[in-house]
Amino acid sequence: MLDLNKEVQFVKGVGPNRVKLLNKLNIFTLKDLITYFPRNHEDRSIAKKIADCEDGETVLIKATALTKITEIRARRLTIYRLVVSDDSSSCVITWYNQKYLKDKFKVGENYTFFGKIENKGGTFEMKSPVFDEDGVDKNTGKIVPIYPLTYNLSQNVLRKIIEAGINEVYGNLEENLPEYIIDKYKLIDINDAYKYIHFPASNSDFIKAKNRLVFEELLALQLALFRLKEGQKFDAKGIKFDANVKMQDVIDTLPFTLTNAQKRVLDEINTDMEKDTAMNRLLQGDVGSGKTVVSIIAAYKAVRSGYQVAIMAPTAILADQHLKNFKKMLGNFGITCELLVSSVTKKNKEIILDKLKNGEIDILIGTHALLEENVVFKNLGLVVTDEQHRFGVKQRATIVAKGNNPDVIVMSATPIPRTLALILYGDLDISIIDELPPNRKKIETYAVGKDMEDRITAFVKKLIGEGRQAYIVCPLVEDSDDLDLKSVTALAEKYKTEVYSEYRVEYLHGKMKAKEKDDIMSKFKDGDIDILISTTVIEVGVDVPNASIMIIENAERFGLAQLHQLRGRVGRGEYKSYCILKNNGHSKVCKERMKVMCQTNDGFVISEKDLELRGSGDFFGTAQHGVPELKIANLFENISELKEIQVLASKIIEDDPSLEQEKNYRLRKLIDEKFTSRIEI
């Protein structure tokens, strides 16, 4: 019987020293070893003519030895030099201090060499290549895996160890996918998959192997998440909020009519709240789509049903803004709201915490400060986190644990394509506000280069003259030597003293004290500042309807979703608004990205495009969302596979929620082994 959990020290070629090195790579067992996938492969199977080699290229050449090895001594170094040629050109091959090579080569014999070649005007030299005699395929003549390494462990050694591991398991790995899936998706056998992902005989072998392993990994993850979500519905006995408390009572007092999307989402939330299971709902909607109002209405229902509500926001500025909105809309109902952020004085904090425990506060709004242990509710029934992608699963769990299975709403303003939402928020139901309140004007967006400086300045002055305010966003707080990027402090200095000396200019960044930041922000809100220069701290939710222009310096440095968030700070009032993207990027992708921003204001379109243009990366903070590390699949590169797999996974779960059927036995085993423990943090 094959034991994949066997310690790696029992694999052939692994002694005590190598065990330590392998451990550094997180390889502890045979299973870890065979799932230590290569970073890429080097094709050492196809030879190139010497004359066709480009300078700096890593290539395979097939050539005849023209000389014997000559030895050149230079101080502590001995250089071994060999001249070879094929029918196109000759090449000098050199090695350093490799004494054993001295008699290796025979004049007139053929060899293959693989290494980096220099081409200096038709004179070729290759340094320290690996080689084989004609007809031998030991170091060359095949496709070779390249692994991420650690100090003191060479490619050759690691490759041999992994090869030994693969030889040990090959033919003995048990199939972990059901036959019906293997057949339908034409997947290759698990044994071949593990062999070829490391040691493919051809590129097509490799692709088949990778497809199968990606499929397996994504299917297991998605199934695990779907099963978890189904499971929650059964076991979490939650709060049944009072059906006699009508959301409509608050809605009637609003100064505007809700959009149809808001109404639909509130219906979904109301239905969930009146069920006796705990709601776990993602509320997604573009910037300005009116998520806050939705959470206020839900909070009303919870409070009137006799429960407390926690609202957690990522910054103090935002928490304070929420407080004002909640008070404005719920104050008349006699509902009490309090703010808890780190800048609250010790004495006030004690009072707040006391009241909270006694149930004298209905709604507590705050930042991470809410997570602290001494924050104790009397009767927490609803938790709302305003995520903007800053809270992870763990933090959500901490706040939720302060209640007894409270209902949970997670608000997110970064529109994520649904496919990804099903992974990142796989344990949540999803509600989408896909409609903006009426009369919102499109924010006119322009991408410009350096030459437009004067025109922009004149335009900003014109708008301020009309009574408006401006944001200027920079990527850095302070100037840095090695980057040609605009910084908040340098720009503020210049603008205060030169460019905008006759205006009220202030700046804001994350390194300032909370109090200072709040002061500046409220001055800006009150219209006492004309131009606010800031880092992305203003990205999150800040609402100043009178601000009608935003200039973003070094726009090429920001992700599209982030630019979209930033831009959402303007166009929040009745005034026509503008966004100027200043950028120095000249790449095609950069131009394409700026074009997207100029063309659309739709966050979902932008995030789809962003995915397409970036291709990969941990942009959405997958780790932060508690998604287990993926060993081979990439959520971004494999998005189309993921879509297909989601359809399959939801069919499977619909048909067999706890994977009890005989045909799904292997799937249950697969996710139990792979994911379950890690997802249930």
How many residues in the shown chain lie near ligand ADP by CB under 6 A? 15
Q: Closest distance between ligand ADP and the C-beta of residue 252, in Å?
A: 14
Tell me how crowded residue 419 is: count the other CB atoms within 10 A of its CB.
17
Closest CB to ligand ADP: residue number: 290
Q: Which stretch binds ligand ADP (CB under 6 A): 205-213, 256-264, 346-354, 531-539?
A: 256-264
- Nearer to ligand ADP by Cβ, of 169 and 293: the residue is 293
Q: Closest distance between ligand ADP and the C-beta of residue 489, in Å?
A: 29
Which H, E and C letters describe 118-177, residue by residue? EEECCEEEEECCEEEECCCCCCCCCEEEECCCCCCCCHHHHHHHHHHHHHHHCCCCCCCC
Residue 333: name its binding partner from ligand ADP, Mg ion, none (Cβ under 5 to 8 Å by kind): none
Contacts with Mg ion in 275-334 (CB under 5 A)? 292
Residue 293: name its binding partner from ligand ADP, Mg ion, none (Cβ under 5 to 8 Å by kind): ligand ADP
Structure tokens at 528: 């006492």
- Nearer to ligand ADP by Cβ, of 261 and 679: the residue is 261
Residue 384: name its binding partner from Mg ion, ligand ADP, none (Cβ under 5 to 8 Å by kind): none
200 is a site residue for Mg ion (CB under 5 A): no
The SS3 assignment for 418 reads helix
The rounded distance, in Å, linking the Cα atoms of 289 and 578 is 19
* Burial degree of 519 (CB within 10 A; 0-12, 13-18, 19+): middle
Give the x-and-dash track for 537-566 against ligand ADP (CB under 6 A).
Answer: ------x-----------------------
Considering Cα of 187, then 190, then 194, then 200, what sign does the dihedral take? negative
Q: Which stretch binds ligand ADP (CB under 6 A): 244-252, 284-292, 471-479, 588-596?
A: 284-292
Q: Closest distance between Mg ion and the C-beta of residue 440, in Å?
A: 15
Q: Closest distance between ligand ADP and the C-beta of residue 665, in Å?
A: 45
Residue 259: name its binding partner from ligand ADP, Mg ion, none (Cβ under 5 to 8 Å by kind): ligand ADP
**Do residues 31 and 5 touch, judged by C-beta distance below 8 A?**
yes
292 is a site residue for ligand ADP (CB under 6 A): yes
Closest C-alpha among 425, 435, 413, 440 to residue 607: 413
Give the one residue of 290, 475, 603, 628 binding ligand ADP; rule: CB under 6 A.
290
Tell me how crowded residue 502 is: count the other CB atoms within 10 A of its CB.
9
Phi, psi for residue 85 in degrees, rounded to 5:
-155, 155
Give the one residue of 289, 414, 534, 554 binding ligand ADP; rule: CB under 6 A.
289
399 is a site residue for ligand ADP (CB under 6 A): no
388 is a site residue for ligand ADP (CB under 6 A): no
291 is a site residue for ligand ADP (CB under 6 A): yes
403 is a site residue for Mg ion (CB under 5 A): no
Give the one residue of 115, 285, 406, 426 binding ligand ADP; rule: CB under 6 A.
285
Element (H, E) at 433: strand 429-433
Q: Closest distance between ligand ADP and the C-beta of residue 673, in Å?
A: 41
The rounded distance, in Å, linking the Cα atoms of 626 and 622 is 7
Q: Strand pairing of 130-133 and 380-386?
A: unpaired
The rounded distance, in Å, linking the Cα atoms of 299 and 480 is 45
How many residues in the shown chain lie near Mg ion by CB under 5 A? 2
Residue 224: name its binding partner from ligand ADP, Mg ion, none (Cβ under 5 to 8 Å by kind): none
Give the one residue of 426, 541, 559, 628 binding Mg ion; rule: CB under 5 A.
541
- Nearer to Mg ion by Cβ, of 385 and 577: the residue is 385
- Nearer to ligand ADP by Cβ, of 475 and 541: the residue is 541
415 is a site residue for ligand ADP (CB under 6 A): no
b/e for 365-397, b at 16 or more Cβ within 10 A?
Answer: bbbbbbbeeebebeebbbbbbbbbbbbbbebbe
Contacts with ligand ADP in 427-456 (CB under 6 A)? 437
- Nearer to ligand ADP by Cβ, of 288 and 403: the residue is 288
Give the x-and-dash track for 447-486 against Mg ion (CB under 5 A).
Answer: ----------------------------------------
The SS3 assignment for 277 reads strand
Q: Closest distance between ligand ADP and the C-beta of residue 326, in Å?
A: 11
Q: What DSSP state is assigned to residue 510?
A: T
CA 489 to each of CA 6, 93, 470, 508, 558: distance values in angstroms, whole numbers, following the listed order: 57, 55, 17, 9, 19
**Do residues 631 and 35 touch, judged by C-beta distance below 8 A?**
yes
Q: What angle do CA 615, 643, 673 make, to 5 degrees?
A: 95
568 is a site residue for Mg ion (CB under 5 A): no
**Hey, what amino acid is at 457?**
T
List residues binding ligand ADP (CB under 6 A).
Answer: 256, 258-259, 262, 285, 287-293, 413, 437, 543
Q: Where on the chain is the footprint of Mg ion (CB under 5 A)?
A: 292, 541
